[in-house]
């Protein structure tokens, strides 16, 4: 009975479908206190005073804190890509001296109920001397704050590269230059953030509502509070979407924990939608300038790139992750023998930015694939032919990219790039589809096709631990350090375990996101769970089965090596006697538990092709995505249904970023997209049928399952493919150089003469 590769229904769904789900807002304790955050109403200013007297006089108010009350709490530290010199730009839990973006926490109110807390928060008066905000990340760097000459709005510049770039440009047949940019948007989970902290009688502080990286956050919050990590536990609830932005440490998480310790009462904070729009991590917001030296075939001899990341007002837990990934992975699936990149991290008076699904790759795939299209147009070549000539051949795998990302040397582990491209074109019936599109255009329709290729990264180490145990009743318990953010962790881990144990997954319980259950856990990010945690579960299951075989040998009075194993039981080949796992577990004084630790020093690299077919209404300038294909090779699919769900959902998010979503600001730094009335997200009406061509042609040699990550590739190339399709629909190569592609932009483009 094989489990891997089958589209089994999710174990996670029953509690969600029957109303038994428990999200952060469902967590409540007797005597709890509501925390409400007072946020800066201005983008930049000197914080002169905070008057909380009126708030403190309100019935039910227990306390109001400002920066002076939490002076012992350090700024929030980085979790990833620490670069020397970034420390002064970390965010304090409450604003000190200056406010630097609309929505920055300046005070917190604690009251007996949410109504009293909100009323009191409205009475906290902040005296702020307004200053002119910096909103343009491309402006010349200046002081981070008046008088802070040692701190600049450009805290770091990343530089990477390899090969002889000067020689590449010296021998170029042509030099193609391009400037592109990607607007500011983010994950926007429908469930906003929440934190509920309670101090137990055993002096253990528990934070409910955590997600993504609970072990790291436990240790980081413990350091900030000066507390033994053993006295702090993080407990994951159900999560209404993660997408990278949920689960990092934010000021509210630390403040809720500190308040529970000081007030000796449970403290509950649930974010409202406006708060989420202005306070949770934004993302994207990059501008790229590219120069490519190419030969007559369109082969890229050398690539020179300068890009700018608008990091917002502070550098949060991700550090320089987005810029680092952008710099390292921009060459994508192409050979590019010489490469130089300079990535500028810039600070502005906007909401701080972090990671969002496919961070750095959505942006750079858009930039790189727009460049490929520009090369094809410049040389009069077919865009698909230019991609073919540049793709890394299968015979070059593993392919050393000659560059580092996240402290890991980038070596593409396996891939059949040319093969997948041809399969994608064949799946579409590409020549016939091109003819059909041309026929429709001949009747006046604005329809077009766009194609983009991408390489993703997944399976970030360094390690993961899992434990698998069998009880006397045959129930299987899998304990991991992973977290669930909606991706089907329980089902995938159960299928991996079931593949070895040969028992149904409905006998399994998967524990995740609970720091008290397991000492090591790296959580859910960077498409790592199936690769890292799944491999650990496989090793743990094999360890358990090895122990069970030795016990079975004693019980059946046979050499364990001669016993057959099927459907959860060991069978004696001569006598026919058998013993199942439940009996073995009940006969073992120590219980039956296996442990697996999987370690790796390299990421692995899934890859794929996106093809978009769009139609543009010339009157409304609206873009409709008529058809969408994602061809994706992930090495091995544990559950194809889960993988396809991940791909389809990610593709729709990518469509949002390509056509609809953007955080915009007025000249004073006031955010203009603070509700769903202004921040437009794709609905079922905007979501096209997404065709998935799932391939398993290039398993990874770096883990025992051969798997690669599946969570981000459905999103990575959407902006690039749709931009190319819009160009094609309007017969205007190179028209789209910025995302999102708004009706206003298209109206102006259609009104202007071609070539302007």
Please write down the HEC assignment for all residues of 233-276.
EEEECCCCCCCCCCCCCCHHHHHHHHHHHHHCCCEEEECCHHHH
Answer yes or no: is pLDDT of 240 > 80. Answer: yes
Does the residue 316 lie in any domain? no
For 579, phi then psi, to 5°, come to -145, 130
Residue finishing a domain among 223, 254, 279: 279
Check residues 750 and 644 and name the one with the higher pLDDT.
644
Q: Fill in the DSSP letter of residue 575.
A: T
The β-bridge partners of 232 are 205
Does the residue 320 lie in any domain? no
Q: Fill in the DSSP letter of residue 529.
A: I
Q: CB count, 10 Å around CB of 561?
A: 7
Do 557 and 647 have their domain in common?
no
Do 538 and 477 have their domain in common?
yes
Instruction: Identify the band that residue 348 occupies on the pLDDT scale cut at 50, 70 and 90.
Output: very high
Answer yes or no: is pLDDT of 115 > 70. Answer: yes
d(CA 488, CA 709) in angstroms, rounded, equals: 13
Instruction: Identify the band that residue 146 occupies on the pLDDT scale cut at 50, 70 and 90.
Output: confident
d(CA 419, CA 393) in angstroms, rounded, equals: 9
d(CA 321, CA 305) in angstroms, rounded, equals: 18
Do 464 and 593 have their domain in common?
yes
Answer yes or no: is pLDDT of 756 > 60. Answer: no
Do 626 and 584 have their domain in common?
no
Q: Which of 558, 581, 557 is nearest to 569 (CA)?
A: 581
Strands 607-616 and 623-633: antiparallel
Residue finishing a domain among 576, 599, 622: 599
Does the residue 147 lie in any domain? no
Does the residue 489 lie in any domain? yes
Answer yes or no: is pLDDT of 589 > 90. Answer: no
Residue finishing a domain among 547, 572, 599: 599
Q: What is the pLDDT of residues 52-72, one digit of tens each?
A: 999 999 999 999 999 999 999
Does the residue 224 lie in any domain? yes
Angle between helices 743-751 and 718-730 (to 10 degrees): 30
Greatest CA separation for the chain: 88
Q: Which of 642, 653, 645 is nearest to 722 (CA)?
A: 653
Do 468 and 407 have their domain in common?
no
CATH of the domain at 513: 3.30.365.10
Does the residue 140 lie in any domain? no
Answer yes or no: is pLDDT of 755 > 70. Answer: no
d(CA 28, CA 26) in angstroms, rounded, equals: 6
Answer yes or no: is pLDDT of 82 > 80. Answer: no
- Report the run of H or E that residue 311 belongs to, with start and end: none
What 3-state class would DSSP assign to 343?
Answer: strand
- Report the run of H or E that residue 11 belongs to, with start and end: none
Count of domains for the chain: 3
Does the residue 468 lie in any domain? yes
405 in Cβ contact with 457 (< 8 Å): yes
What 3-state class would DSSP assign to 650?
Answer: helix
182 in Cβ contact with 662 (< 8 Å): no
Does the residue 644 lie in any domain? yes
Do 454 and 465 have their domain in common?
no
Quote the pTM value: 0.96
pLDDT value at residue 754: 60
d(CA 631, CA 695) in angstroms, rounded, equals: 7
Do 654 and 505 have their domain in common?
no
CATH of the domain at 222: 3.90.1170.50
pLDDT value at residue 672: 98
Do 471 and 541 have their domain in common?
yes
d(CA 215, CA 522) in angstroms, rounded, equals: 7
Q: Note down the domain range covering 252.
A: 24-131+192-239+246-279
pLDDT value at residue 386: 98
Do 592 and 609 have their domain in common?
no
Do 434 and 576 have their domain in common?
no
Is residue 597 exposed (0-12), middle (13-18) or buried (19+ Cβ within 10 Å)?
middle
Do 202 and 71 have their domain in common?
yes
Do 453 and 464 have their domain in common?
no
Q: Which of 626, 601, 624 is nearest to 532 (CA)?
A: 601
């Amino acid at each position: 009975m094989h489990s891997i590769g089958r589209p089994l229904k999710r174990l996670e769904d029953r509690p969600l479908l029957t109303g038994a789900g428990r999200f952060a807002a469902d967590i409540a304790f007797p005597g709890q206190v509501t925390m409400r955050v007072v946020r800066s109403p201005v983008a930049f200013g000197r914080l002169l005073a905070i008057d909380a007297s009126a708030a403190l006089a309100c019935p039910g108010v227990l306390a109001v804190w400002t920066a002076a009350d939490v002076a012992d709490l350090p700024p929030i530290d980085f979790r990833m890509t620490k670069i020397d010199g970034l420390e002064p730009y970390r965010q304090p839990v409450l604003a000190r001296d200056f406010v630097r973006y609309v929505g920055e926490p300046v005070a917190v109110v604690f009251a007996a109920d949410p109504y009293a807390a909100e009323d009191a928060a409205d009475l906290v008066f902040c005296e702020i001397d307004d200053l002119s905000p910096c909103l343009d990340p491309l402006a010349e760097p200046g002081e981070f704050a008046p008088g802070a000459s040692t701190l600049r709005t450009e805290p770091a510049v990343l530089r990477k590269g390899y090969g002889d770039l000067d020689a590449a440009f010296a021998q170029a047949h042509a030099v193609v230059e391009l400037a592109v940019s990607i607007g500011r948007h983010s994950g926007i989970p429908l469930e906003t953030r929440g934190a509920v902290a309670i101090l137990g009688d055993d002096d253990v502080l528990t934070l409910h509502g955590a997600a993504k990286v609970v072990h790291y956050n436990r240790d980081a919050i413990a350091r900030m509070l000066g507390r033994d990590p053993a006295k702090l536990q993080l407990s994951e609830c159900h999560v209404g979407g993660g997408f990278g932005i949920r689960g990092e440490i934010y000021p509210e998480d630390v403040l809720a924990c500190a308040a529970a310790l000081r007030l000796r009462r449970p403290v509950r904070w649930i974010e409202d939608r406006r708060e989420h729009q202005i306070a949770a991590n934004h993302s994207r917001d990059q501008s790229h300038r590219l120069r490519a030296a190419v030969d007559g075939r369109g082969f890229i001899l050398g690539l020179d790139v300068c890009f700018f990341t608008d990091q917002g007002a502070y550098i949060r837990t991700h550090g320089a992750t987005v810029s680092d990934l952008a710099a390292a992975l921009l060459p994508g699936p192409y050979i590019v023998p010489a490469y130089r990149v300079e990535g500028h991290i810039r600070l502005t008076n906007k909401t701080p930015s972090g990671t969002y699904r496919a961070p750095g790759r959505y942006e750079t795939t858009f930039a790189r694939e727009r460049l490929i299209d520009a090369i094809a147009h410049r040389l009069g070549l077919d865009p698909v032919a230019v991609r073919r000539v540049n793709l890394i051949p299968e015979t070059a795998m593993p392919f050393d990219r000659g560059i580092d990302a996240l402290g890991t040397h980038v070596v593409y582990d396996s891939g059949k790039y040319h093969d997948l491209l041809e399969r994608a074109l064949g799946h579409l019936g590409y020549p016939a589809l091109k003819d059909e599109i041309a026929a429709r255009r001949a009747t006046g329709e604005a329809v077009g096709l766009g194609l983009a290729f991408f390489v993703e990264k997944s399976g970030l180490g360094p390690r993961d631990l899992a434990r698998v145990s069998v009880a006397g009743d045959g129930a299987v318990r899998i304990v991991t350090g992973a977290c669930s953010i909606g991706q089907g962790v329980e089902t995938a881990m159960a299928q991996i375990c079931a593949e070895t144990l040969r028992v149904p997954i409905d006998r399994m319980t998967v524990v995740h996101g609970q720091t008290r259950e397991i000492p090591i856990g790296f959580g859910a990010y960077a498409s790592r769970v199936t690769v890292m945690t799944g491999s650990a579960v496989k090793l743990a299951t094999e360890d358990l089965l090895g122990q069970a075989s030795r016990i079975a040998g004693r019980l059946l009075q046979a050499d364990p090596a001669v016993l057959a194993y099927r459907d959860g039981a060991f069978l004696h080949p001569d006598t026919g006697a058998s013993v199942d796992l439940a009996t073995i577990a009940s006969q073992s004084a120590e219980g039956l538990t296996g442990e697996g630790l999987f370690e790796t020093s390299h990421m692995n690299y899934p890859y794929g092709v996106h093809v978009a077919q769009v139609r543009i209404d010339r009157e409304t300038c609206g873009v409709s995505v008529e058809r969408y294909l994602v061809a994706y090779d992930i090495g091995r699919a544990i559950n194809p249904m889960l993988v396809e769900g991940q791909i389809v959902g990610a593709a729709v998010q990518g469509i949002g970023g390509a056509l609809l979503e953007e955080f915009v600001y007025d000249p004073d730094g006031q955010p203009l997209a603070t509700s769903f009335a202004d921040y437009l997200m794709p609905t079922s009406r905007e979501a096209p049928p997404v065709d998935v061509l799932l391939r398993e042609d290039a398993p990874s040699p770096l883990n025992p399952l051969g798997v690669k990550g599946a969570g981000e590739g459905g999103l990575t190339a959407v902006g690039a493919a749709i931009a190319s399709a819009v160009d094609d629909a309007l017969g205007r190569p190179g028209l789209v150089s910025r995302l999102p592609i708004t009706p206003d932009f298209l109206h102006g483009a259609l009104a202007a003469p071609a070539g302007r």
